[in-house]
Amino acid sequence: MFVFVTSALAIEPHPDAVPSTHQPGDVDVAENVPFNVTDPATLRGIVMDETAAVLKGSWQYSTHTPPYVGIGYLHDQKSDKGEKSVTWTPDFPNAGKYEVRVSHCCNVRRSNNTPVIIRHAHGESIIRINQQEVPAHGKLFRSLGVFEFEAGKTGSVTISNEGADGKYVIADAVQFLPQRSSRVEEPPVYVRNEEDHSKWPQIVREGVDAARDYFGNYGPVQVYILGHEEDALNSDAFHKQIVERYCQCRHPDSIDDRAGCASGSGAELLRKALSGRGDAYLSFVDHTRPPLAELVFINPHEFNDPYLYTRGIHEYTHVYQRAFPVTPTWMMEGGAEFFACYLGEKRGWASLRNDMKTFMENVRRIEDPELGIQHMEEIDKVSLAIKKYHRHLAYDAGAWAIAFMIHHSRSQSIADMHKKFYPRVTKIGWEAALAEYVQMKDKQAFYHAFEMFLAQPWEQQLSLVGALND
């Protein structure tokens, strides 16, 4: 029995699997090695690799084609079609909706018709995937959609080689990501200093409500507003109240965890407020049930009026987006920016034309002509050289990519972006939904078309925005 040692732990191979015939370092695509995830515990959500699965039939280990999770991946040896399967049965800590992903390496020797069976609270779904295609998430994980599961060992995912096309079927790992927001009845809860009678809390609320009116009520959401122009409002009593509420919401069932929160993230929240600098952001508390969205506005008086309105729209748009499977960074941030400008214009807080012009000016400041939104699919995976253009690629180019998507849709309707596109992401994943929505072959065709669009003269680009329908 061989034991593989990673940076974090030692992992024993599955006892029922045939050992690999490849030596360490014997790989066919060396540039994909950095995308390996050696420790599954570093991934979000519930992750199970092949060592935690039940095998039916003979499966063999390999490390020849990276990337993969853990110590390697399994293949069906291209034999006994219809008689082999790999099944994972997670122990869900809570009932709810989870995005289900599977990991696999890819090349032309892989099956393009691999069946994946998801057993969930409402029955059984069978999805066939093409393992010759590069997975969207870190070149490793492919989304299968969102499914509802009961708590406990009530569901499973099975990869089978039944009906596969005579090529290799790959089984590596599965990932279950709890959905971070959903439609709710309750409006956002605001945590603020009631003695603050300035205009800033109302501006925040109006911006958030503009997005809620358009997308619907998602959450649950806590909105924290702290940091004030008047020093008297930055009292110890108010700060204590903020931290207590913040930590109570994050750790409702543990006094010890609340104490740790008060001296940790709660104290950091106050430090930011007392710094005097303006900031606004969204964070999700995944360990609560349901997951809690936190919209945090720090020293809002440091923002100008129109921008604070649209920043509220931007952050709440993310709450809406997180009700669906994860989409690429450029689509998340670009979508939030586009809708902030679009809805802001409807309320008289912004000009879509002027804002889009500013975004394009920023895009044209990117020094490397080879960089595009395709390099900003996952911000956590990019190099420092690319990350320095996070704003330009994800927000500025991303907003234009959203406009470009809408322009190439059948209806050219902005409303259809959230009414039709995002629901399709749930059913078929963002890559297939993108290709379907823009009526192109695949995401690469979209990236190429968008790259050509970015080379057009400004007035021609701007005419696209004017052609969009509400």
Query: What residues have CB less than 8 Å from 259, skipping those under 6 apart?
Result: none
Average pLDDT over residues 372-394: 94
Instruction: Give the model's pLDDT for residue 324.
Output: 87
What local confidence, expressed as pLDDT, does residue 288 receive?
78
Question: What is the arithmetic mean of pLDDT over 26-47?
Answer: 91
Give mean pLDDT, residues 370-392: 93
* Residue 57 pLDDT level (bands cut at 50, 70, 90): very high
Highest mean pLDDT among 11-20, 162-171, 290-299, 334-343: 334-343
> Is it the case that residue 103 has pLDDT exceeding 80?
yes
pLDDT tens-digit profile of 335-376?
Answer: 999 999 999 999 999 999 999 999 999 999 999 999 999 999
pLDDT of residue 124: 96
Quickly state the pLDDT bin for 229 (edges 50, 70, 90).
confident
Residue 137 has pLDDT above 90, yes or no: no
Q: Cα(301)–Cα(103) distance, rounded to whole angstroms?
A: 46
| pLDDT for residue 329 is more than 50 | yes
Share of the chain above pLDDT 90, in %: 78
Region at 359 (left for phi over 0; alpha for psi -120 to 50; beta for the rest): alpha
Indicate if the pLDDT at residue 7 is higher than 60. Answer: no
| Three-state secondary-structure class, residue 172 | coil
pLDDT (0 to 100) of residue 44: 82
Cα(128)–Cα(144) distance, integer angstroms: 9
Confidence at residue 4, expressed as pLDDT on a 0 to 100 scale: 37
Question: Which residues touch 345 (CB under 8 Å, ≥6 apart)?
Answer: 351, 352
Confidence (pLDDT) at 6 = 39
- Residue 39, Cβ density class (10 Å: 0-12 exposed, 13-18 middle, ≥19 buried): middle
**Mean pLDDT across the chain, nearest whole number?**
92
Q: Give the CATH number of domain 4-178; options: 3.40.228.10, 2.60.120.260, 3.10.400.10, 2.40.50.140.
A: 2.60.120.260
Task: Give the strands of the sheet with 60-62, arranged side by side.
Answer: 60-62, 73-75, 170-171
Q: Rounded distance, CA 438 to CA 120, Å? A: 31
d(CA 465, CA 358): 13
- Overall average pLDDT of the 376-397 stretch: 94
Whether residue 317 contacts residue 215, with contact meaning beta carbons closer than 8 Å, is answered with yes
- The mean pLDDT value for 283-302 works out to 89
pLDDT score of 10: 59
376-386: average pLDDT: 90
pLDDT of residue 1: 33
Per-residue pLDDT, 320: 96
Asked whether residue 3 carries a pLDDT value surpassing 60, the answer given is no
So where are the chain's domains?
4-178, 181-323, 324-470
The answer to whether 75 and 54 are in contact (CB under 8 A) is no
Nearest of 72, 64, 65, 66 to residue 14 by alpha carbon? 72
Contact of 288 with 247, CB cutoff 8 Å? no
Q: Which class for 357: exposed (0-12), middle (13-18), buried (19 or more C-beta within 10 A)?
A: middle
pLDDT category at 5 given cuts 50, 70, 90 is very low
